[in-house]
Structure 1
């Protein structure tokens, strides 16, 4: 079955992703794929930056609300992470630290006292012959304590909405073209 060009479809974590077997145990693991039209870039770094730069406005509002809540628990806020992009020596993609890059995948994430997470942006051939190219956003989360497990339980539905909406919006705007 071809990956739809304008809908984010839940898929299994891609076997070729660097995050699939990263943690010995995970508290959240999901992946969503969307088709890339012919002519679209297959540079995962460019596509990731495009997705993060063009998210729906409601995601920023939801992130601000999240920041107000988690700051009370001493967790990293998006505002704090954004300042790291200006002062940290580590490469960052938006608010996230870049952990690895390859020709087909960028892995970003953060580590905190309550949990560690990684997000993979992977460009690949579709799951079946003649299904075209796909972009898959995968997330894995490893919780360190009860606060992490409660946090993931509360935000998981929002996380999935954010990923799907971000992919849909990028497809609607039009993916950057390949070189």
Structure 2
């Protein structure tokens, strides 16, 4: 089976993350093609992608939690305990806004704030496929945030690409029956 193609793209102009912060310290977006029979609900897709992240990601998050706990930053473990099943979180991410084609996730902390958009984009032209686009914007508050971001940004990029490719390999959730 060919490796699913995850491409770097600009955040789509209509995405809620575009212009979200007056200044950003990181802005990126990754896109992957959705098959015709795949679900188009951004929340269902986000839950699918983030629940099936590669196993090595859990190891990295454990290391991250150990390192940042002493700095008083929020940990992934602590965020999961806030209620991953209450409908207001997708894994460790708080849901800020639900739109028909986009889910806005994120978290605010003392060192930085971030927003993550999960957008199900319709075909751009005849013959094109729908695409799932995950965009991230980060706004740092201080030197701790900028230093933290410098360390985690390369991991963030690999994790997002790998999570999208992994979800495609597993097989996207289907459209609900009508």
Q: TM-score by structure 1 length?
A: 0.93
Quote the offset at 1:84 in angstroms. Answer: 1.0
Q: Return the match for 1:96 from 81, 93, 98.
A: 93
Count of residue pairs brought into register by the alignment: 175
**2-structure distance, mates of 1:5, 1:39:** 19
Q: Return the match for 1:31 from 15, 29, 37.
A: 29
- In structure 2, stretches of 5+ residues that fail to align are none
1:77 aligned to 2:79? no
**2-structure distance, mates of 1:86, 1:53:** 11
Greater mean deviation of Cα atoms: 4-13 or 166-175: 4-13
Quote the offset at 1:90 in angstroms. Answer: 8.1
Q: Return the match for 1:57 from 55, 68, 75.
A: 55
RMSD of the TM alignment (CA)?
A: 1.8
Q: Which runs of 4+ in 1 moved over 6 A?
A: none
**Other-structure match for 1:144:** 141
Aligned to 1:85, the other structure's residue is in SS state coil
**1-structure distance, mates of 2:118, 2:47:** 10
Q: TM-score by structure 2 length?
A: 0.93
Quote the offset at 1:18 in angstroms. Answer: 0.6
Matched-pair contact (CA < 8 Å) for 2:119–2:134: yes
**2-structure distance, mates of 1:16, 1:176:** 25
**Other-structure match for 1:117:** 114
Matched-pair contact (CA < 8 Å) for 2:84–2:91: no
**2-structure distance, mates of 1:64, 1:167:** 21
Aligned to 2:83, the other structure's residue is in SS state helix
Q: Return the match for 2:104 from 71, 87, 107.
A: 107
**1-structure distance, mates of 2:142, 2:19:** 20
Quote the offset at 1:16 in angstroms. Answer: 1.0
